[in-house]
């Protein structure tokens, strides 16, 4: 057997791939569900914190900054392990899936809050003043005038950060969640062949490459035309 044949047998073994394809497809379903939950809750929470921070309540802002800096500094894996293994000490026992969802959502919340906040503060003071002069309240100015412009500016960094964090769903295998990497690793152990990892890599490309393309499209559509 040539080196090329050994390579194909190791990483593209058709018999092994066919046997474990249903497991990888199941893992894709879990990964999709987890990623969508992380994106929706993480971005929503980040935007809510940025809007709340814009009202400049000193004590509230100090708490927001502390929480955001904390989850920006901690590696996602550390947060997952703490939630999964630490919360049972206070009689709260989330599943591995819920632990990963909460952990990654908190990390995405922290980064997205800073991105949204940067977008809000980048809007010129004159636009705030012009909107207020028409009779709009502070909240109306924030929602109807400032926020639409800020979101345009935040699309590129927000998209990149969201993709980076949602790829962290692979960390869920540490807490026994049967997502793509977990199913692929289990299949490798059972088959003594790394071909399931190849399928796992392909599955991640199928899921996240469209997100990259969508992010590029949104960046083109939402940024200011020069």
pLDDT band at 223 (very low <50, low <70, confident <90, very high): low
Does the CA dihedral 192-195-196-201 come out positive or negative?
positive
Q: What is the mean pLDDT of the chain?
A: 88
| Number of neighbours of residue 145 by Cβ within 10 angstroms | 18
Q: What is the mean predicted confidence (pLDDT) over 123-132?
A: 84
Q: How far apart are CA 113 and CA 123, in angstroms?
A: 16
DSSP string, 26-95: HHHHHHHHHHHHHHHHHHHHHHHHHHHHTT--HHHHHHHHHHHHHHHHS-HHHHHHIIIIIGGGGT----
Taking phi first (over 0 means left), then psi (-120 to 50 degrees means alpha), and beta for anything else, what does residue 176 get? left
Q: How far apart are CA 61 and CA 121, in angstroms?
A: 14
Q: How far apart are CA 72 and CA 195, in angstroms?
A: 35
Q: What is the pLDDT of residues 12-63, one digit of tens each?
A: 888 889 999 999 999 999 999 999 999 999 999 999 999 999 998 899 999 9
Instruction: Return the ∠ at Cα 142 (arms to 131 and 69), rounded to 5°.
Output: 145
| 203, 24 contact by CB (below 8 A) | yes
Q: What is the pLDDT of residues 167-190, one digit of tens each?
A: 888 899 888 888 998 899 889 988
Query: pTM, whole model, 2 decimals?
Result: 0.88
| 149, 123 contact by CB (below 8 A) | yes
Helix axes 14-53, 180-191, angle to 10 degrees: 160
| 115, 154 contact by CB (below 8 A) | yes
Please report, for the chain, how many H helices and E strands are present, in that order: 10, 0
Q: What is the pLDDT of residue 115?
A: 94
Q: Which residue ranges form the domains of the chain, and what is each CATH number?
A: 14-222 (1.10.3720.10)
| 203, 20 contact by CB (below 8 A) | no
């Amino acid at each position: 057997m040539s080196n090329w044949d050994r390579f194909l047998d190791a990483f593209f073994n058709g018999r092994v791939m066919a046997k474990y394809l249903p497991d990888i497809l199941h893992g894709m379903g879990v990964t999709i569900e987890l990623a969508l939950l992380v994106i929706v809750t993480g971005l929503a929470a980040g935007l809510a914190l940025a809007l709340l921070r814009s009202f400049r309540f000193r004590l509230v802002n100090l708490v927001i900054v502390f929480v955001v800096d904390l989850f920006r500094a901690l590696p996602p894996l550390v947060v997952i392990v703490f939630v999964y293994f630490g919360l049972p000490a206070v009689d709260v026992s989330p599943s591995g899936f819920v632990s990963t969802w909460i952990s990654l959502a908190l990390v995405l919340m922290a980064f997205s809050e800073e991105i949204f906040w940067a977008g809000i503060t980048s809007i010129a003071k004159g636009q705030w003043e012009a909107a207020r002069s028409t009779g709009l309240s502070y909240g109306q100015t924030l929602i109807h005038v400032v926020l639409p412009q800020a979101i345009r500016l935040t699309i590129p960094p927000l998209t990149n950060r969201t993709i980076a964090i949602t790829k962290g769903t692979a960390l869920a295998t540490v807490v026994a969640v049967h997502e793509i990497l977990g199913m692929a690793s289990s299949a490798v152990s059972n088959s003594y062949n790394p071909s399931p990892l190849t399928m796992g890599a392909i599955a991640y490309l199928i899921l996240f490459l469209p997100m990259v393309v969508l992010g590029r499209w949104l960046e083109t559509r939402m940024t200011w035309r020069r």
